[in-house]
Structure 1
Amino acid sequence: MKFYISTLGEFDIKVDGQSILRDSNRMYRIYKLFEYFLTFRNKKLLPETIIDNLLSDSESEDPKNMLRTQIFRLRKIINALIPKGELPEKYMNLNFTNGYYCLEIGENTIVDIDVFENLIQKGDKEREYDIESAIESYQNAISLYKGLYLSDNAYEVWLVPTRNYYQRLFLKTLNKYIDLLKRNEENEKIVNLCEKSLLIEPFEESIHIELIEALLKIGQNKSAMQHYEYALNMLEKELDAKPSAKFINYINIIQNYTSRNNDLDIEAINKSLEEELPEGAMYCSLEYFKFLFNLQKRKSKRNNEYDYLLSIMINSNNNKSINDVFSVLKKSLRKGDVFTSWNDNQILVMLHNVKENGTETIKERLTDNLINYTRINRNEIRLIFQPVSMENTIL
């Protein structure tokens, strides 16, 4: 039997794919203590250092005794996990020797960050003589990174250096992986890889650029432009500052790429020019809407944003009604909003950063505009709002 400890994302300990941690508020401090020892595994730690990092805000008059009590409880939990008859040294052993605590990790305990680094080192060696093997090693390493190191402990200062280290290592490895895929001209894989990576690192400009570049290379010029518009708007709002000049000027690359591939097709050039800088809300395909929705859903949970999914149902017998609605939405919604067609009678809209009680204002404005500018009656329109951050959504 082996223990598998996950740290890249949410913390967990599994045996045969099943979590063996107990979900209890009483265990929070013990798990945090274990995460601390795990971060500095196989290193000697003074009690005073542990107290400064974990118990500095405690009101206890005897923090050393409090630490000893917590370590006693942690040892009991660790020992209970180890199979009967097995030596603790083969799994995990928390020692106290010469005034130092030390968590020793044995051969039957696998920590994901160790596997992560080993795969990257393996890929770095292989890329010199075997690109396919290096691609496989980098791919396996990237798949282990589910999020920031111990992301459930968001505000622990002692975690910052380690968390930043693995985040930078992930991004560096991602770039090396993409470079190898470029050599093989595997642009479809790059698109898929970047879309998944943006769910984890939505503010990383370089990933957005790689995605746009790959979309252009597979002929998805319109999708490249749509993603550029979305990313530019998102980065400006979330970072409260302009993106880099390189990213802003990437619009020229998209335009030049489109022109270069349509030199003799005057109709395609004309259509491209009409679609490059849309005013108001942006229409996109359902698949692309799902990608943007899931990206925004993760971001909303992290940043406490008030984004909404709006369902507009039109119960009209007029076949032209939906097209009329599209035109109204483009003019009535903001530039950062996105909409798509769910079916012949239903439209989905993603509304970004809606202010308090803003849904009622939006509902009134959209309903009035739909009545005034289309041939749809009030009783044929139904609007339903749902926070993007909700767990159960139709997407």
Structure 2
Amino acid sequence: MEKKVIKVKMLGEFSISDGTGVSMISDKNNRSKKVLTLLEYLVTFRDREIPQNELIELLWPDDDADESANTLKTLLHRTRAALDDVSGGMGKEIIICRRGAYAWNNEYETIVDTEEFEKSCRLAASARGEEKLAHLLESIALYKGGFLPKTAAEIWAVPISAYYHNLYLNAVHEAVGLLNADAQFDAIIEICQQAVSIDPFDEELHLSMIQALLANGMQQQAINHYTKVTELYFDKFGINPSPELTKLYKDIVKVSNNTEMNLNIIREELRESEGETHAFFCEYEFFKDIYRLQARAVVRSGGVVQIALMTVMDTAGYKLSQKQMALTMGRLNEVVSYSLRSSDIYCRFSVSQYLIMLPSANLEDSEKVMHRISSNFRKAFPHMKALLHYTSLPMEPKL
């Protein structure tokens, strides 16, 4: 009987198929976790024989070794039976036993995506120019996601997962550098979109994405992506945008203003959407500019402007958990937006704070506004265990 080619996917999912995709073992079906773990381990370390004790420690670390030896034999029988479907009944020959150790039989042609990926990365490392870029792009295409995502937290899988992930990120960053030199911004955007879906916390990926959007004349998309990233970092890590991201945001605004236009077109672009009645929300960098402009105006007009800082904490006065903070700040944003006047300005100042500017308002007005926000928040979300603390000060005019 002709031996079938066995294809194994370990990046983004785990599956073993006969090459046609008709017969498949996959972590997406209801297959036994122990069967899958045994297969994953045997394929990952198919370059060596694995002692019985090592498999027992992997699968039943807390059980009696003698009892586990018998359980392992039963599990091997089930695993070989599962392989029969993808190998034409050759499961027993694929998992072999020699001298008290088990191994994947490499006499059967087995194509493993991790090995193909690693090979492509090695070829890229030794190549130059267009050939290097071709291998990098091939590597990126092969990486469909993290190594064994449903097993990645296991001690044995963690370093392997990190190894492949780092190879992938290096390939992406190198490819972006080469594509950028050739002004292939569409390709950079496509690569970065895939990469940030796999690793949304790599800031360099986001910087590359925004720079490519900007270079491609897609200023609004660049701003949208910047906003998405800053919200992500606020919600997940409680940190403000890095200086690099902030500088890039300012560059986007500059580019947006460099295009020559007819004054009528400019006026149309400056106009807000019809029916906009909520308060004006902006990034903190813009808030600073508006504050400074208002401070100048106050000197001339003698008017008053209040600024207020609203802080979210738990009912005991401590910081909320990361998950609760993200949820609470999102809901508070909604409430602040409709509780303020359309001429008021606010921004996200930190992971737990909103900064608010109230033109033509005195201290008493400010207190009323803050009370209104707190009251509206409690009415809208009565079951949220969060406390809103606020302080307010008059603007210091620029003398």
The bucket for the TM-score relative to the shorter chain is 0.5 to 0.7
- Is 1:118 aligned to 2:94, yes or no? no
Letter in structure 2 aligned against 1:3: I
Percent identical residues:
24
SS state at 2:103 partner: strand
Q: Distance in 2 between matches of 1:224 and 1:149?
A: 30
Q: Distance in 1 between matches of 2:245 and 2:265?
A: 25
- Is 1:191 aligned to 2:192, yes or no? no
Equivalent of 2:380 in 339, 361, 368: 361
CA RMSD between the two structures: 4.3
Equivalent of 1:225 in 205, 223, 226: 223
**Deviation at 1:165?**
0.7
| Per-residue Cα deviation, 1:229-252 (whole angstroms, up to 9, x for no partner) | 220121121123445443344334
User: Residue 191 of structure 1 contacts residue 214 of structure 1 at CA under 8 Å; is this kept in 2?
Assistant: yes
Taking structure 1 as reference, are residues 195 and 25 closer, same or farther at Cα in structure 2, changes over 3 Å only?
closer
| Per-residue Cα deviation, 1:135-156 (whole angstroms, up to 9, x for no partner) | 3332222122221111122532
User: Residue 42 of structure 1 contacts residue 104 of structure 1 at CA under 8 Å; is this kept in 2?
Assistant: no
Letter in structure 2 aligned against 1:105: N
Larger Rg: 2
| Per-residue Cα deviation, 1:266-293 (whole angstroms, up to 9, x for no partner) | 9999999999xx94399xxxxxxxxxxx
The residue that corresponds to 2:13 in the other structure is 10
Deviates more, 1:162-171 or 1:11-20: 11-20
**Deviation at 1:71?**
2.1
The residue that corresponds to 1:365 in the other structure is none
**Deviation at 1:19?**
4.7
Equivalent of 2:52 in 43, 47, 51: 47
Equivalent of 2:69 in 34, 54, 64: 64
SS state at 1:232 partner: helix
| Normalised TM-score (structure 1) | 0.62
Q: Distance in 1 between matches of 2:235 and 2:71?
A: 45
Could you list the runs of 5+ residues in structure 2 that have no partner in the other structure?
A: 273-278, 284-322, 329-337, 352-376, 382-399
**Deviation at 1:194?**
1.1
Q: Distance in 1 between matches of 2:224 and 2:43?
A: 43
SS state at 1:21 partner: strand
The residue that corresponds to 2:133 in the other structure is 135
Corresponding residue pairs, total: 296
SS state at 1:117 partner: helix
- Is 1:34 aligned to 2:39, yes or no? yes
| Per-residue Cα deviation, 1:98-153 (whole angstroms, up to 9, x for no partner) | 33322233452211111111222223333x15x1x433332222122221111122
SS state at 2:25 partner: coil
Letter in structure 2 aligned against 1:172: N
Could you list the runs of 5+ residues in structure 1 that have no partner in the other structure?
A: 283-302, 308-324, 337-357, 363-395
Q: Distance in 2 between matches of 1:28 and 1:51?
A: 15
| Per-residue Cα deviation, 1:176-196 (whole angstroms, up to 9, x for no partner) | 111121122110111122112
**Deviation at 1:306?**
7.5
Letter in structure 1 aligned against 2:116: V
User: Residue 95 of structure 2 contacts residue 105 of structure 2 at CA under 8 Å; is this kept in 1?
Assistant: yes
Deviates more, 1:50-59 or 1:170-179: 50-59
Task: List aligned pairs for 1:80-229, cutoff 5 A.
Answer: 80-83=85-88, 93-106=94-107, 108-126=109-127, 128-129=128-129, 131=130, 133-229=131-227
Taking structure 1 as reference, are residues 96 and 228 closer, same or farther at Cα in structure 2, changes over 3 Å only?
same
| Normalised TM-score (structure 2) | 0.61
User: Residue 8 of structure 1 contacts residue 145 of structure 1 at CA under 8 Å; is this kept in 2?
Assistant: yes
Taking structure 1 as reference, are residues 252 and 62 closer, same or farther at Cα in structure 2, changes over 3 Å only?
same
Taking structure 1 as reference, are residues 43 and 248 closer, same or farther at Cα in structure 2, changes over 3 Å only?
farther
Deviates more, 1:223-232 or 1:101-110: 101-110
User: Residue 56 of structure 2 contacts residue 65 of structure 2 at CA under 8 Å; is this kept in 1?
Assistant: no
The residue that corresponds to 2:370 in the other structure is none
